[in-house]
Amino acid sequence: MSFKDILGQDRAKRILTNSLLRGAVSHAYLFSGPEGVGKRLTAFTFAKALNCSPLETHGDKSPLETHRDKSPLETHRDKPNREGDSCDRCLSCKKIHALNHPDLNFIEPDDESIKIEAVRKLQSRISLKPYEGKKKVVIIAGAECMTDEAVNAFLKTLEEPPGETVIMLITANQHSLLPTVVSRCQIIKFNALAGDHIKEILIKDYRFNERDASILSSISKGRLGRAVTMDYKAVCKERDEALKLIISSAKGDMEYIFTDSKRLAKKEDLPDFLDIVADLLRDAAAMRGADTDDCIINKDMKEKLREFSDGLHLPFIINMFDAVQKTKFLLKRNANQQLSIETMMLGMGGD
């Protein structure tokens, strides 16, 4: 993948491309933005572009270079990248793609954290000159998962990285990073992708049909990573279940509330399920309040949502939405799942 193939994130791509063209690359970047919007892909593409070494034609080489015993990769060291992009075809690009370039150092959380051992190993690797590339590249995904020890050890590297090193930290949670880390990096913001972009990628790169791509792009709310990993059938099942919950709760169906709360409380992905419930209510409120279905997330469910919201007052639907948000908040603070769900469903009903 080259920058020109990455859809969306135009601002981030422009900053990185310009830095390549001007030969003014920062020593540390922080890629910050929601999960699944292309931060990793952009980081790896930048790593490729930093080390890209397409073979020159004979005429491009100076006589001195042709006589020197150097590998084609080495002859390009220190030259700016004239394309501001990766070619995606040279040996260096291919090695980075396959994660076996000796100058690429990629770290991600192991067991939910990045430990000091990983940082130490990294530091010893980047203390050497680049093996075959122009730059040693460090990519740390989930940078907010570094343990305190790891961050403290890493700060020295971030402050004074060894020569020819470019560090890219990736996070979906910039506010969990220490200000001392953030202030040492050039921050590159990533935004949620437009639904149309996601749909296009799903059809082009993941071979979804038009209908499924359109539904997934709207449910994923700008997170391609989520759209791709979502199991379409499972999502539809969850949504049907979420719809049943809001209908039964609105009616104050006590049998449902006290029976199904037990089952729902056991869901491993309860917060994700509640997100689906909240989205349905948001759509119902939009349809009821704005009398339009242009902006709704679950476009394919508009008939069912209309049926549900017909005859309900907008404040009633908003009250249901608030009950879900409150429950999500309580669950984050480890409230009892079953009790919270029961309370939520009771709170969603009329008086």
The binding site for Zn ion (CB under 5 A) comprises: 52, 86-87, 90, 93
Q: What are the beta bridge partners of residue 141?
A: 170
Nearer to Zn ion (CB atom), residue 83 or residue 241: 83
Q: Which residues of 176-185 are buried (b: 16+ CB within 10 A; e: fewer)?
A: ebeeebbebb
Nearer to Zn ion (CB atom), residue 52 or residue 168: 52
CB of 1 to Zn ion, least distance (A): 11
Nearer to Zn ion (CB atom), residue 21 or residue 203: 21
**In 3D, which of 252, 246, 248 has the Cα closest to residue 350?**
252
- Contact at 8 Å (CB) between 136 and 164? yes
Give the strand pairing for 136-141 and 104-107. parallel
Match 């192991």 to its residue by tokens. 110
CB of 101 to Zn ion, least distance (A): 11
Q: Work out the burial of residue 36: count CB atoms within 10 Å of its CB; fewer than 13 is exposed, 13-18 middle, 19 or more buried.
A: buried
Q: Which helix (H) or strand (E) holds 167?
A: strand 165-171
Query: 244: which residues sit within 8 A by CB, 6+ positions away?
Result: 256
Nearer to Zn ion (CB atom), residue 83 or residue 200: 83
Q: Work out the burial of residue 159: count CB atoms within 10 Å of its CB; fewer than 13 is exposed, 13-18 middle, 19 or more buried.
A: exposed
CB of 52 to Zn ion, least distance (A): 3
CB of 131 to Zn ion, least distance (A): 16
CB of 57 to Zn ion, least distance (A): 15
Start-to-end C-alpha separation, the chain:
56
Nearer to Zn ion (CB atom), residue 3 or residue 308: 3
Q: Work out the burial of residue 37: count CB atoms within 10 Å of its CB; fewer than 13 is exposed, 13-18 middle, 19 or more buried.
A: buried
CB of 96 to Zn ion, least distance (A): 8
Q: CA torsion 49→54→58→62, rounded to 10°?
A: 30
Number of Cβ within 10 Å of residue 186's Cβ equals 15
Nearer to Zn ion (CB atom), residue 52 or residue 188: 52
Nearer to Zn ion (CB atom), residue 97 or residue 267: 97
* Separation of alpha carbons 114 and 142, rounded Å: 8
Nearer to Zn ion (CB atom), residue 86 or residue 343: 86
CB of 93 to Zn ion, least distance (A): 3
Instruction: Report the Cα 207 to chain-centroid distance in Å.
Output: 21
Nearer to Zn ion (CB atom), residue 28 or residue 52: 52
